[in-house]
Amino acid sequence: MKEFDFPGSKTIALLFDPDKIQPGSLSNTLRIATECRTDFILAGGSITFNDIDDLIERIKSECSIPVVLFPGNLLQLSRKADIIMLLSLISGRNPELLIGSHVTAAPYLKRVREKLFPVGYILIGCGSKTSVEYISQTESIPSDKPEIVVATALAGEMLGLKMIYLEAGSGASMPVPHEIVKAVRENVTIPVAVGGGIRNSNEVETIYRAGADMIVLGNGCEKNPELLVEACRIRDSFRKTI
């Protein structure tokens, strides 16, 4: 199983939360995602009302974009995804999300270890309290403390994690500040992903310019598919300059 590939070092991922998908819109969104060559589909969320396997199977039946499991909890474990993000919430101090849940999941994931991709997940405070903060029982790092974010990202890289994911959280009033993205990019050598609160093409371009390798767009693209189209267009323009 090939690990994450970053063509031109810039990629777009579309995140589907199985509990937030708009009825009847998934097929249309996947069609648009295919047309604009979206790089990855992420599947996962904070709470589990709907089966993650059902979502993954439907996505894979309707498009050939690689599906990445983005598990919000142990109930969202699945072997059906092409790639499994093994998330460590390194911005918090909840031991279950640093190692406890990983120990529980390890026997289940042993048979698909070639799919695993360890990721350092860092929550950044970007406005109102998010679902991730509440469910994880952790505090985000304040957006005016870039030195703490950088130190946390460095620690994650030194521990052997293969990506740093800077997360503003679903429903955040603003995305991760570009100053933080830039500071992290200048201090780590592994890929940097940025997600949460990204609502327009200007924010996509600014985050890419700050050094993000992957931008993750959420379920909002179902209501505004033009954002996905524009994000992929911006991605392509950056690839041409590399």
Spans of all domains in the chain: 7-241
Report the C-alpha gap between 55 and 113 in whole angstroms.
Answer: 22
173 in Cβ contact with 127 (< 8 Å): yes
pTM over 0.85: yes
Report the C-alpha gap between 57 and 54 in whole angstroms.
Answer: 5
Across the range 209-233, mean pLDDT stands at 92
- In sign, the C-alpha dihedral spanning 9, 1, 69, 85 is negative
pLDDT for residue 98 = 96
4 in Cβ contact with 233 (< 8 Å): no
pLDDT of 169 > 60? The answer is yes
- 52: CB partners within 8 A, 6+ apart: 18, 43, 44, 69, 71, 75, 76, 77, 78
pLDDT for residue 3 = 54
Cα-only R_g, the chain: 16
Confidence of residue 222 (pLDDT cuts 50, 70, 90): confident
pLDDT of 211 > 50? The answer is yes
Which amino acid, residue 203? E
Which amino acid, residue 125? G
Query: pLDDT (tens digit, 9 = 90+) per residue, 53-78?
Result: 999 999 999 999 999 999 999 999 99
Confidence of residue 4 (pLDDT cuts 50, 70, 90): low
pLDDT of 17 > 80? The answer is yes
pLDDT for residue 220 = 74
Written as six digits, the tokens of 52 are 């993650």
Average pLDDT, the chain: 92
Q: Coil, strand or helix: which one is 26? A: helix
pLDDT of 7 > 70? The answer is no
pLDDT for residue 1 = 42
Confidence of residue 9 (pLDDT cuts 50, 70, 90): confident
173 in Cβ contact with 126 (< 8 Å): yes
82 in Cβ contact with 57 (< 8 Å): no
Please give the CATH number for the structural domain made up of 7-241: 3.20.20.390
- 139: CB partners within 8 A, 6+ apart: 92, 123, 125, 133
